Amino acid sequence: MLNKFIDIVTQEPRHKTAAIPGTITSVPGYPTKLKVYINNASPYWQASYYDQGTTYRHSCKTMDKKEAYKRAIQFYEMLILKKYQHAYHLKDHEFAVTLEKPHNLTEHLQVQQIIQEWLKRKAPLWTPRHKIEVERRLKNNVIPLIGKRNIQKITTADVLAIIKKVEERGAFDLAKRVLNDCSQIWRFAMASGFCKRNITDGLTVVLLPHSVTPQKAVSLEKLPKLMRDIEQYSKPNEEKVRLALKLLAMTFVRKSELLYAKWTEFDLNAKLWKIPAERMKMRVEHTVPLSKEALSVLHELKEKFPSDEYLFHNGDPSKPIRDNALIEALYWMGYKNQMTAHGFRAIASTVLNEREFRADVIERQLAHIDGNQVRRAYNRAEYMEERMEMMEWWSDYLHQISK
């Protein structure tokens, strides 16, 4: 029978929206006619209130019973406010007109509200930097266009319009990221019962194709000049940036891993820098052996710019220097369209492979995760001795060519 269930006690057909016996509970401290219950149509608790022949129902949108009580009380109070602000009841009670206007019952369905709920769920799994980037993308590209609209009213065409608007600026990679954000938000909304389908499905096929431009890196022939230019970098008030570029070249970590580094991650006696998993791209802790040259840079940095927090701070130890500091310095030295901060990784990989260091050791030091899960599981040694030897050789190599 359509939409019918058999009651396990009476063996009689029961509609799927009917309350499941044994789950019906009156809300403590409120009229017994205000109840919460569970049915077979939804995983969430439902609220109901019976008044003068009419039953009012509301989905509490939660599977926690205590939270369901709170939301049932809010539902009840809205009903009472709405009822007693009716003109019939107000004629003898002038004070009632000053009561606050009832909240919009569908406010929780606004796209911007659902985005906030999604961010609360996802943000703890992200790095602070990634959280800021996602929030900025949504604030600039999604919320202004559909933020205040009911998510159930949004169509595929609405999302497509957002993507096309981003593409019109030539920001093709950003368009792909915005679409991915929207897809995750709608999947979350479906799972939470806010909407019935993911309207972003299939939209990837309409993204405009674009080629990925490799990160710029100077040729090996120009590397000695680059290292000399970094050593002699003398832009006013940029000594910190010079040291950052030197350390980046020696360790070939990602730019964000360097700029957001804190002194608590370093063990100078053990000559190790341990970058926590939450700051790594692949969410796996990464260890960087520190060469003598790298330690020398760190000691100089600590002496000239004391801090208990960020290595490279903006004057306030609790705030890192701006993200564009390194690329701006390279531009200032004349390397625009020739070299990027990420380019040191490509250069190191090329040189170390040419010098026949083992590929596994190089890849591990680059923090490239081996796709073979079994191999990863048994690779506990992490080639640490070989990596320490390799990093010492690499720093010596950079020092020699910069003379």
Say what the pLDDT of residue 212 is. Answer: 53
Q: What percent of the chain has pLDDT over 90?
A: 50
Residue type for position 298: L
Instruction: State the residue for tokens 């710029």.
Output: 216
3-state helix, strand, coil in the chain (%, to 5): 50, 10, 40
Residue 367's φ and ψ, nearest 5 degrees, are 60, 35
User: Quick one: average pLDDT of 289-312?
Assistant: 95
The predicted structure's pLDDT at residue 330 = 95
What does the pLDDT look like over 263-293, one tens digit per residue? 999 999 999 999 998 888 777 889 999 999 9
Q: What pLDDT sits at residue 309?
A: 94
Which one, of 111, 131, 110, 132, lies nearest residue 121 by Cα? 131
Least confident interval from 91-100, 143-152, 187-196, 211-220: 91-100
The mean pLDDT value for 148-162 works out to 92
Q: Is 216 exposed, middle or buried (0-12, 13-18, 19+ CB in 10 A)?
A: middle
Q: What is the pLDDT of residue 143?
A: 94
Ramachandran area for residue 110 (φ above 0: left; ψ -120 to 50: alpha; else beta): beta
* Residue 200 pLDDT class (50, 70, 90 cuts): very high
User: What's the pLDDT tens digit per position in 32-76?
Assistant: 889 999 888 888 899 998 887 888 888 998 888 888 998 888 888
For the record, the structure tokens of 285 come out as 């802790």
- 391 or 323, higher pLDDT: 391
* Contacts of residue 185, Cβ cutoff 8 Å, sequence gap at least 6: 111, 114, 115, 118
Pick 41 or 294 by higher pLDDT.
294
CB atoms within 10 A of CB 186: 23
Higher pLDDT, 344 or 215: 344
| Residues 92-101, mean pLDDT to the nearest whole number | 38
How far is residue 276 from each of residues 123, 151, 286, measured CA to CA in Å?
Answer: 17, 37, 7
Tell me how far apart the alpha carbons of residues 366 and 378 are, in angstroms, rounded to a whole number: 19
> In terms of C-beta distances under 8 Å and separation of at least 24 residues, what long-range contacts does 292-295 make, across chains too?
292/392, 292/395, 293/250, 293/395, 293/396, 293/398, 293/399, 294/247, 294/250, 294/251, 294/391, 294/395, 295/268, 295/271
Token pair in block for residue 50 = 């019976």
Contact (CB, 8 A) for 39 and 17 = yes
- Return the biggest CA–CA distance within the chain: 93
Radius of gyration of the CA atoms of the chain, in A: 30
Q: What is the mean pLDDT of the chain?
A: 84
